[in-house]
Amino acid sequence: MGVVYCARDRRLKRSVAVKVLPPELGYRSDIRQRFLREAETAAQLSHPNIVPIYTVEEKDTLVYFVMAFISGDNLGKVITDRGAMDPDDVRRILREVSDALQYAHHRNVIHRDIKPDNILIDADSGRAMVTDFGIARALTDSNDSRLTATGMAIGTPAYMSPEQSAGDSQIDGRSDLYSLGVVGYQMLCGELPFDAPNTPMMLVKHLSETPVNVNERTAGIPLDLSRAVMMCLEKNPQDRFPNANSLSTALSTGDIPTLIARAQPAPPPPRRNSSMGAGSGYSPMPSLRTNHAIRPPMAPMAPLGSMATRYSSGARAAAPTNDDYARWNAPEVLKFRKRLAPYIAVNAVLIPAGIFGSNGFFFATIWWTVAMAVQYSKLWQAGYDWKDVFRQPRDRLFVDVAAETIDDARALFDEKKREQVRDRARRRTGTGGLFSPIPSGLPMLPMGARAGSRDSRNNPPSSGLDYMSMNSRYADTVQQAASDRDEILRHLAQLGEGERSNVPDVSNAADALFQKIRQLASRLDEIDSNGEQPSEVELESEITRLEDQANPLDYNASESRVRRLAQLKRQRRIVVDLKRKREEAFSKLENCRTLLRSMKLELLRYRSAGLGGPATGLTMVTQQVQSVVRDLGYLSDAAAEVRAL
């Protein structure tokens, strides 16, 4: 942002850098005052890894500040010239920048525009130094939509955090950590985590897409370094490092906090001290880490943050975390769980038989129990326990699980207790059964519920996978659609009443379109589950062969051949019709996915434009969605047609 000039301080006889506010913004008095105020605040930061600001001035229509001249290139030029950097250099630069961020965050200064161009590499010492602290805030505080159009008021799209991309007004230091994670990713891979042809698409990618792991793009990266970078890139701020000091400590020690430790909210920074001067010195906050257990290297993808809220009888229940899901699905745990299922089932019969019948059954039970105990001891040595086997969160007590198990058993014989168990399952997102492949889903947002309404807040949207197995080839499609729908509802909830009143049908249209995507995926699953059908070519070949063998003199063979031909031709019609239905359903599924993404993109554009922005594009997409949903109504009978085939 702005133009930088190299100048000479005639009084102190030293080289300095002069940064001037762009002319298209300098004529605005409110922008000038905000720029001066933020620059004055940034000038109070005194840290070895922050470029010092000497003075802030305003003359005529020019607003500028004078800072130290750093001989060397910015990090952006270094990456352009060298490509992927050495992991040791990346670790050092990330640690130095995180130290600078911790110092600033401790003083209630958020950078908001961390990117390679704002990180200077001193030619003499190789030290990384951060510049432009607080300047982005001088622009983002404005409500003028014209500032957003310049591309500066929202920061640099390629490095913006999801909360910045969504236009959230309240962000904290973890937003800077996300941007630093993008910088670290670029240093390690030589490329950005996301590539998009324009700014809106880039914002959508930051909001909804998961970047490819750095280890999959570049070989030879230390595991702890790659994990640190990927944790910075978590969509949910609560899943990142709690503060910059935790990141710096992790980079120094190689110990990466677990998701449970990182999920603790960062404490609010203290109030800005107006008396703080340049001599305040550097006094970083102590580490807030509570656990240094290393996260499994390839943790499976957990449900979206918007789906992580769980309820039990109206109160907060123990919620599985990303780390819980990773432990539950570890290969050792899955292997033991598969062996435990037949052990429980068979011994439920053998033990009563041994008590009331022959004692010979106890011999098999004892040896089987010993074998299972040996297997469990290996599991224990690997760092797992009964909570992982029984799919229970880490903070669940054994007595709680036992009490619920007893209630479940009593429900088999007590209708009142059975209703209580059902109510508990409805109110709380359970962890799934012991041998269930995936956790059960969350309750669906009721049809017609508005984003931000009481219903939508008390009933978090479903992942959309409650009706199909994760093994379904369409599970990823439905999950991505659920993510897009959740993002639309979240953006709507953050709009003002006036802005939301301009687009009243978006919430219902998005939810209806998502329901159609689920239906189409379900229909395709039913079509695919019909089993292997002979191809049209094979049937045609068999029909041709039988027709060539026609012999009117052989009455018995001719009658059998006619029946076989009729059967094959009927089967051919079914195969052709089945193929047509599948292609049609798949095409409609892709169209619905595209429409849902377009709706999310148009909503993001509408939100970025501000209160005075037009809603034309969003309205047109919404009307198109409503038309498509109406046209797809006839598909409700598709399942019956498929079963009839």
- Taking the chain (645 residues) in runs of 10, the rounded mean pLDDT of each run is 84 89 73 76 87 85 86 92 93 95 89 91 92 63 41 64 78 92 95 86 82 89 93 90 93 75 42 36 35 36 35 41 66 81 79 68 76 81 74 61 69 71 56 40 38 41 48 77 83 76 80 84 76 69 76 63 77 79 83 82 70 64 71 50 45
**Tokens at residue 352, please?**
């009563």
> Can you tell me whether residue 45 is helix, strand or coil?
coil
What is the structure's pLDDT at 478?
86
Say yes or no: 86 and 223 in one domain: yes
For 78, the token pair is: 């270094």
Query: What sign results for the dihedral spanned by CA atoms 475, 478, 484, 490?
Result: negative
Report the distance separating Cα 397 and Cα 402, nearest Å: 9
239 found inside a domain: yes
What confidence score (pLDDT) does residue 305 get? 36
Burial of 174 from C-beta contacts in 10 A (0-12 / 13-18 / 19+) = buried
Same domain for 512 and 605?
yes
In a domain, 272, yes or no: no
Number of structural domains in the chain = 4
Helix-then-strand count for the chain, H and E? 27, 8
Rounded distance, CA 160 to CA 162, Å? 7
Where residue 164 sits, what CATH number does that domain have?
A: 1.10.510.10
Q: Are 34 and 113 in contact (CB under 8 A)?
A: no
* Same domain assignment for residues 116 and 171: yes
CATH number of the domain residue 18 falls in = 3.30.200.20
29 and 79 belong to one structural domain: no
Within-domain flag for 445: no
The residues, ordered by sequence, that sit 6+ positions from 608 with a Cβ below 8 Å of its Cβ are 145, 148, 154, 167, 203
Q: Which one of 17, 41, 68 terminates a domain? A: 68
86 shares a domain with 60: no
Do residues 343 and 368 touch, judged by C-beta distance below 8 A? yes
Residues involved in catalysis: 113
3-class DSSP assignment, residue 67: strand
| Structural domain span for residue 54 | 3-68
Q: What is the pLDDT of residue 300?
A: 37
Q: Are residues 246 and 342 in the same domain?
A: no
Q: Say if residue 13 is in the same domain as residue 105.
A: no
Instruction: Flag whether 317 is in a domain.
Output: no
Which residue has tokens 């109406």?
Answer: 630
Mention every residue, 6+ apart, whose C-beta is less than 8 A from residue 509: 599, 622, 625, 626, 629
Residue 554 domain flag: no
Structure tokens at 95: 């640690």
Do the domain assignments include residue 260?
Answer: no
Query: What is the rounded distance in angstroms from the CA atom of residue 373 to the CA atom of residue 401?
Result: 21
What confidence score (pLDDT) does residue 638 get? 43
